[in-house]
A and B are shown apart, each in its own frame.
Chain A
Amino acid sequence: MTVSLHRFANPARFLKIAALVLPWASGLTVGLLGLGLYLGLVASPPDYQQGESVRIMYVHVPAAWMAMFVYSVIAVASATALIWRHPLADLVAQASSPIGACFTFLCLVTGSLWGKPMWGTWWMWDARMTSVLILFFLYLGHMSLSKAFDDPVRGAKAASVLALVGVVNLPIIKFSVDWWNTLHQPASVMRLDGPTIDGSMLTPLLLMALAFTMYYVALLILRVRAEMLDRKLRTARLAAVDAATVPAPAR
């Protein structure tokens, strides 16, 4: 099994697969986003309690899912980087964290905009909101820690450890609404006894979630590819500098 996984960690093979996936991911992002936004903002019915305000859900909930999904990707990549030392794993983790941070920020902002009209407050220190805010800080920490060392290898290692420690926050976010009484309501979609959300609202929600996922895939490919080129350029420059300094007498 590890052998088959290692095949994908080969940068040349990654580039080949990425070139194949990118147009599909970009196309699906545009198509699904258009369809999801139309169904969510125009065609779907208002909620029996919340009226039209419920439409914030079609952005807020997929953003929250992505915030957690991207963090899971970073955690898996970090573990792979720490244990098997794959060069690609670090690239994926570091390329993902600004994307994840943006999704988390989007989730917090839309949640706040939704909370004011419905609950009557922009922000409350309840377990769900606080744990998502911590996730946002984890992303920021991961981004800055990976760039905090002169030696990029050490930076990547420190960031990987931070990412793995932060995994503890994921189940806390997910189950905070079940473990403690919070202002935030319990899960509506991912629950054992099936969704408590009407089909006419669930369809656009899932379409939007899929669109966000495709967007992440496309962005991740672009970012990893750019970073690979950047490293190649740096290596070439260093080699040029070395070549220029070699004739100088030894110190």
Chain B
Amino acid sequence: MTRKRRRLYVVVLCMTALFSAAALVLTAFEDNLVFFYSPSDLATKGLAGERRIRIGGLVEEGSVLRDGSTTIRFRVTDLQTALPVVFNGILPDLFREGQGVVAEGRMGPNGVFTATEVLAKHDENYMPPEVAEALKKAGHWQDGMAK
């Protein structure tokens, strides 16, 4: 075995070990690496309490209620479970019904999520408005399903 060949094997071996280690670590951390929970996660995992958490999903169609002041109420849904959210503050421009949203805050004892920050999430589709219009007309519109 030449020196070059030996160095090649050492590098390949180290890289394999490194990638396996990284894969193991990432698998172990999987549950802790979520950026937000879905309303269903919240229902099944029982995450209510004092902890600050983020929830994500779609703003349910027809659920947005503004009561004149800056307080806004809406429901976040993952199309299985919906969660009522109350928020007092400025919403991002992309916030609209049927769009993805991430809210940070605390779960109240009454089952209402009090958000301190609301972020809009957009999907991976990019197209001119005319194309979006045409797609809607043709009935090929997939719901703006945020992952």
Q: Is the CB of B119 within 8 A of A198?
A: no
- Which among B26, B36, B92 is the interface contact of A172 at CB below 8 angstroms? B26
Tell me, in angstroms, the Cα distance from A147 to B72 when the chains sit together: 55
**Given A83-B8, A126-B35, A183-B35, A200 and B121 contact (CB-CB distance below 8 Å):** no
Q: Which residues of the partner chain A approach B102 to less than 8 Å between Cβ atoms?
A: 183
Residues of A in contact (CB 8 Å), total 40
* A33 adjacent to chain B (CB < 8 Å): no
Report, as a range, how many residues of chain B touch the other chain: 35 or more
Tell me, in angstroms, the Cα distance from A185 to B94 when the chains sit together: 14
Q: Is the CB of B8 within 8 A of A46?
A: no
Q: Is the CB of A164 within 8 A of B36?
A: no
* B112 adjacent to chain A (CB < 8 Å): no
- Produce 1/0 per residue, A114-138, CB < 8 A to B: 0001111100101100000000000
* A54 adjacent to chain B (CB < 8 Å): yes
- Which among A46, A185, A187 is the interface contact of B129 at CB below 8 angstroms? A46
Q: Is the CB of A188 within 8 A of B128?
A: no
* A182 adjacent to chain B (CB < 8 Å): yes
CB distance from B13 to the nearest CB of A (A): 12
Interface positions, chain B 99-141, Cβ under 8 Å from A, are 99, 102, 117-133
Q: Is the CB of A185 within 8 A of B123?
A: yes
Q: Is the CB of B124 within 8 A of A119?
A: no
Q: Which residues of the partner chain B approach A83 to less than 8 Å between Cβ atoms?
A: 4, 7-8, 11
Q: Is the CB of A84 within 8 A of B4?
A: yes
CB distance from A240 to the nearest CB of B (A): 34
Q: Is the CB of B8 within 8 A of A181?
A: no
Residue of A nearest to B146 (CB): A185
Supply 4 further A-B pairs (C-beta < 8 A) apart from A46-B129, A47-B129, A198-B128: A50-B94, A117-B93, A120-B94, A188-B124
